[in-house]
Structure 1
Amino acid sequence: MSRFIMVIAFILLHSSLRAGIKPVIPYFDDGSIVFTEAEILNEYTARIPFKLVDRLIVVEAALLNQKGDFIIDTGSEALLLNEVHFPSEYPFLTPTKQASGVIDIIDNVKERKLQEFLLHDFVLKNAHSEIIDLSHIEKSKKIHLLGIIGFSILKDYEVFIDLHLNQITLTKVDKYGNKYDKKVYSEKITDSIPFKLNGHTITLKAMVNDITVNFGLDSAAEFNQLNKRINKKVIRSFFPKGRILLTGASNKKIEVITGRLFGVKLSENVYFGPMNTVLTNLNKMNEAFGTNLDGVLGYEFFQQKRTIINYQKEKLFFINYPLNRQ
């Protein structure tokens, strides 16, 4: 799954543990993925530093004898590999159905079954990936883009996305969402809110100008998105600034209105300052996923909230930014 570059909105890894045995690091050409900068805290928890490329969260990894960049995308359903670097000649590659993005639908997608994913002590057997052409994103962002990691990789972890320290913490959880590692975070969790999983999409209820708004949460959305057909009272909280041209993972282009959205409130204690937002038509996205979203929250959300995602508990937890944050 993919989306427009400015809003390319769900990456990291989903894995199962080898109980009690430390795996041998295999060669890169056997289908294993290695996060080269990861700090392994224990058998359940790893911290992975990331860089911000414009407003995209990008981690470095090695896969199939290649080393490069992956975008972290909680809005993506699966692992996407860039056809430029993983061409059709790769083994175990078969055509599959079209891949859906938050903004657009991508046809001619191929699927590859990888033998194994590996993050040091974290192992996932028989991972499936989808292969599409991401070359225009790679050129636009000036990165060596190997792919996009999404929900199917992340869902077995509690995922802490921290734009203060520019790192992601993954800690293994059981089927109820309880962490195996009980001492993951040194800082205090200050707030939490529930969410609903609609397929792979995290959906949140918010209030804007006393109107209930349904948002999807997407770590790779460079700007928030707001459906231009939303209630007019919500539109009154959107202050337009101009127009920009967005290009999607399928290389489609669309002109949208950009501006700032005020007054987004998730609970009595969880609210946001003005957020950069684009006004666009989300009908295709809602049709593709069977959702009824009024908008998408992305980078602007994570910039204001250090956020922990627990998919099994369907809950977000928040840790405050330091008071001296610039």
Structure 2
Amino acid sequence: MKYAAKRIAMLLLTMVIVSFLAFAAFDVISGDPATAMLGTQATAEKVEALREELGLNRPLLVRYGEWLTGFFTGDLGTSYSYRQPVWDLIAPKVGVTLCLSALSFLLIVVVSIPLGVRAAGREGGRLDAAATAFNQLCMAVPPFFTGILLTWIFSTILHVFVHGSFPSLGDNFGGALEYLLFPAVAIAIPRVAMTVRMLRSTIRQEMGRAYVRTAISRGNGRPGVLYGHVLKNSLVPVVTFLAQTMAEIVAGSIVVEQVFAIPGLGRLLVASIGSRDYPVVQAIVVILALWVVLAGTAADLINQRIDPRLRLGGGA
């Protein structure tokens, strides 16, 4: 429990730091939201008046303190472009992006662990060499290119889905998941390849340890040792690696949403950056960072349960 409390405290501290950096970044980059909002009607007087209305003339720390207080109470500010509460604007899109990220992560776990275990038991030979080469190819292909190929094959040629016709999660959850399956596959393919390679290497390294040789010499079969001891010990670095992939999954979701015309946080983020809608950008950045940090914290807690040595070291 002490270790869990420390991890939660670190999570909160990390989120405060990330939110401050995201908030402060827009004070140093070029471009003024008031000027962008006024467009061709911008004059010095109008820009100054709008900056005063938006509160942009106040000190950074004062604005950040108000924003942070509002964040914990559910008030993320008001969108400059849409003139509506930020949470009302992004709430429908949060579920879409989180579903896409979660589905991608599920595919990675379900596919990579069995493949990694199987690959570890087939060392050497032409089949192993071919699998390794294919694995390298999958790692080299970026998700957006895979997404374009999947769109071309399954939408343009096979008509399995209609590009750009993403149904609402609330109205047709099953249909939305079917549509999200293709972008999830595009995101998952390179991460599956990386996880398979890591798990394959970790299992083979673990199989060479003294305790494995001792267990086999006492009459235990290799499958029993593999699934009873080796796989458990090999999962610790793999779980950590999978948690680290959440950053790539979130980044992949933002890019792939553009390819598949999915109305998620990614498309809103790109549009808001272009229009200098900083309250929306800040909220999205913090939400995505929270998703990544939560994954890392969950991985640490899971690893502590898997490996008794981590429990002793964590003081639980």
Q: TM-score, structure 1 length as denominator?
A: 0.26
Greater share of helix residues, 1 or 2?
2
Q: TM-score, structure 2 length as denominator?
A: 0.27
Greater share of strand residues, 1 or 2?
1
User: Between Structure 1 and Structure 2, whose CA radius of gyration is higher?
Assistant: 2
Choose between structure 1 and 2 for higher RCO, CA contacts under 8 A separated by at least 6 residues: 2
